[in-house]
Amino acid sequence: MIKILPLAFALFCGSVSAAELTRYTSQKLHQAQQMDAEGELKRAIEILQPLDNLRRYDEAIVARSLGVYYWRSNQASKAVNELERALNTGSLSGDELYQVKMMLADLYFNQQQYLSSVTLYHSLVNQTTGESLNTLWLKMAKAHYQLEDWQKAINAAKSVKPSTTEQKIEVLTLMFASQIKLKWWSGAEVSLKSLLGHQPDNALWWRQLVSVQMRQNKPNAALASLGVAQQLVELTSQELQTYLQLLSQQGAPERAASQLSQSESLTEEQWIQQAYLWQKAKEWDKAIEVWQQLARTDEQYYLNIAQIHYRQGEYQPALAALERIKLGQVEVWLLRAQVLHKLGRNSEALEFARKANAKKPSTETDSWLVFLTQVVEASRSQKHFE
Domains of the chain: 24-92 (1.25.40.10)
- pLDDT of res. 1: 35
Contact between 169 and 191 (Cβ < 8 Å): no
What's the rounded Cα separation, in Å, for the pair 325 and 306?
Answer: 10
Mean per-residue pLDDT of the chain: 91
Decide: pTM greater than 0.85: no
Tell me which DSSP letter residue 12 carries.
H
305-359 pLDDT tens trace: 999 999 999 999 999 999 999 888 999 999 999 999 999 999 999 999 999 999 9
Buried b (16+ CB within 10 A) or exposed e, 4-20: ebeebbeebeeebeeee
What's the rounded Cα separation, in Å, for the pair 238 and 343?
Answer: 45
Cα–Cα separations (whole angstroms), residue 163 to 8, 167, 177: 21, 7, 21
What's the rounded Cα separation, in Å, for the pair 114 and 53?
Answer: 33
- Determine the distance from the C-alpha atom of residue 191 to the mean position of all C-alpha atoms in its chain, rounded to a whole number: 14
Average pLDDT over residues 23-32: 95
Within a 10 A sphere around the Cβ of 370, how many other Cβ atoms? 12
Average pLDDT over residues 231-260: 89
116-160 pLDDT tens trace: 999 999 999 999 999 999 999 999 999 999 999 999 999 999 999
Instruction: Please name the residues in contact with 173: beta carbons below 8 A apart, sequence gap of 6 or more.
Output: 195
